[in-house]
Structure 1
């Protein structure tokens, strides 16, 4: 008589290893779905080359803000702060109709202020007039991602 169950010692460890590999593969699949699936709805942050310079075309002390390249910034989706160095930032939001695209520019004659209004691609109201020889901290961000597109100090000439 042959004992069919005589050599069963190796079956248990092999089955255990196969189950561990299966569990690992399932866990890896679940983690991959969670990691890559949840971030799929995120919006692309716009990229834009914004340049701020002294405006030599006008006799008044002002600065020119130029969109040199990249994505079009949608009205209501970008903010600007122009404050004298040492003062807290004062972002104002562009009006919904103020898209800012490549090649477009506008001049700023004033600092931004919390109570400033009507920020368009043509300029804004509020703040105090810029003065020659003074330095101003200029920040330009895309909203809602808060991506900083420009951040520099410029001296008005």
Structure 2
């Protein structure tokens, strides 16, 4: 009778099952919280536009900015000199900002007398949906 009584009072199996159930529940809840956090962040990512712009210094010292086109080149504002914003370091050391329209295949020239010898250039595209995106940066 002592053997039969021993199996009735043994609680070790029940504790192990409850422990496994609790660990699985905690894992599921943790995965749900992480998924909600990750997928909630994805909604805030903005579209990245594809427009190729090159910046180079010509042999005479001028800086040439070329619009090489791209899948989203047609989405850039056109007219009233507001499609591109070009900021560069002037020979005075100040930053000069100019707005221009630059058709695909066209070039914009910054005179060698206007630009600093070591000039930092940032070209920003202004898109029809109201967003702006840096298309090129260069030290020339």
What TM-score do you get using the length of structure 1 for normalisation? 0.56
SS of 1:82 mapped into structure 2: strand
Instruction: Quote the residue 1:67 is aligned against.
Output: 67
Q: Could you say which residue in structure 1 is the equivalent of 2:121?
A: 138
On the 8 A contact 1:51/1:67 being kept in 2, the answer is yes
Q: Give the 3-state SS of the residue equivalent to 1:90 in structure 2.
A: strand
SS of equivalent to 2:76:
coil
1:19-98 equivalent positions in 2, closer than 5 A: 19-53=22-56, 63-70=63-70, 71-72=72-73, 74-75=76-77, 78-84=84-90, 87-92=93-98, 98=101
> How many equivalent residue pairs?
126
Q: Distance in 1 between matches of 2:90 and 2:108?
A: 17
1:74–1:145 CA distance, 2 compared to 1 (3 A): closer
CA distance in 2, matches of 1:134, 1:91: 14
1:134 CA drift (Å): 5.9
Which structure shows the higher helix fraction?
A: 2
Extract unaligned runs of 5+ from structure 1.
111-129
Instruction: State the shift of 1:40 in Å.
Output: 2.4
Q: Is the Cα–Cα contact under 8 Å of residues 54 and 67 in structure 2 kept in the other structure?
A: yes
Give how far 1:30 is off.
Answer: 1.6
User: C-alpha separation between the residues in 1 aligned to 2:57 and 2:12?
Assistant: 85
Q: Counterparts of 1:77 and 1:34 in 2: how far apart (Å)?
A: 36
Counterpart in 2 of 1:14?
Answer: 17
Contact 2:62 2:109 in 1 (8 A): yes
Structure 2 runs not aligned, ≥5 long: none
| 1:104 maps to 2:87 | no
Give TM-score, length-normalised by structure 2: 0.61
1: CA distance, partners of 2:32 / 2:97 = 44
